Amino acid sequence: MTTREVALISGPNGWGEFGAFLEYGPQEASRWLASAIETACHPWPDAVRHEIAVNATIPAVPAAQVAGVLARFPGCTTAKVKVAERGQRLDDDVARVAEVRAVMGPSARLRVDANGAWSVDEAVEALGRLAAYDLEYAEQPCAHVEQLRDLRVALVRAGVDVPVAADESIRKAEDPLRVRDLEAADLIVVKVAPLGGVRSALAIVQECGLPAVVSSALDTSVGISSGVALAAALPTLEHACGLGTVALLAGDVTPCPLLPDHGALRAGRVAVDEALLDRWAAPPERATWWADRVANCHAVLAAAPQEGGMP
């Protein structure tokens, strides 16, 4: 992905962000719209902390580029490394993770994210090699929740000590609680927008009863602020969150982007700048496409308000 498109919605409580990925249909994307409406129209839950530690994010770049990417995340002591990129080899993943460990040092926390690309056997092989770099956990190593369950068993049998985190099995699942019921993960990764908003995501974390990491979907600072609000409201937060991704963007809609300060973000609303909205505005044909998309997703929410989180 080289370009990110979102729609911003202004309401009585500020701005909300609707950034469902372009390939998502109205049914799936409507949850993202519900989140934007909640943020724009309603107060967030009370915070129990005001600073959120965040991780650096390393895309599937060659090992030689790792240091340059890490330089965008000053003060971060945790890094998430993308692996299992299509067209790359396991050797590329190992080299990338090894370089992150070398640059960040032995005390840093490293986690890998395969976006569900491995089979169970491939995940056992890959994590067996990557475990040498002391992984905090592996995020969505396999696509399906049943595979995650089987992988946890296989890793124990293979003597590979890498916890498993569920991401897509939470945010793209019809029943995210199956991760809990099948004992398919050691922790969960939650994103506010695809779960329908801060309150909905908070309820899922509480029902799952597993440690949670709050992550983003390459949002602007408006979307990131909702993720920070969720992380700030969680009763416990044991891991750095994947909310530092504004550093990967060429621009933002606020003059004060949510960039990590000494590896952390502060909770709070974002002030949107009208001049920056104009600077990054989509061309008219894309704006029309997004307006139609908002209308289609809103119709889904209106038809099922109890599921969609309509205000």
Query: Could you report the per-residue pLDDT of 58-96, keeping only the tens digit for each?
Result: 999 999 999 999 998 999 999 999 999 999 999 999 999
The sign of the torsion formed by the CA atoms of 120, 125, 129, 131 equals: positive
Q: Percentage of the chain surpassing pLDDT 70?
A: 98
Residue 264 is part of which domain span?
45-277
Cβ atoms of 215 and 189 within 8 Å: the answer is yes
3-class DSSP state for residue 203? helix
Q: Do 289 and 224 sit in the same domain of this protein?
A: no
Q: 9 with 92, same domain?
A: no
Residues 94 and 203 in one domain: yes
Instruction: Clarify whether residues 260 and 218 are in a common domain.
Output: yes
Structural domain count of the chain: 2
Give catalytic residue positions. Answer: 82, 191
Judgement on whether residues 213 and 226 belong to the same structural domain of the protein: yes
Residues 225 and 297 in one domain: no
Q: Convert the pLDDT of each residue in 87-135 to its tens digit.
A: 999 999 999 999 999 999 999 999 999 999 999 999 999 999 999 999 9
Tell me the whole-structure pTM to 2 decimals.
0.92
CATH of the domain at 286: 3.30.390.10
Task: Give the pLDDT of residue 199.
Answer: 96
Residue pair 156/181 in contact by the 8 Å Cβ criterion: no
CA distances, 287 to each of 23, 153, 281, 298 (Å): 16, 48, 8, 16
Q: What is the pLDDT of residues 265-274, one digit of tens each?
A: 999 999 999 9
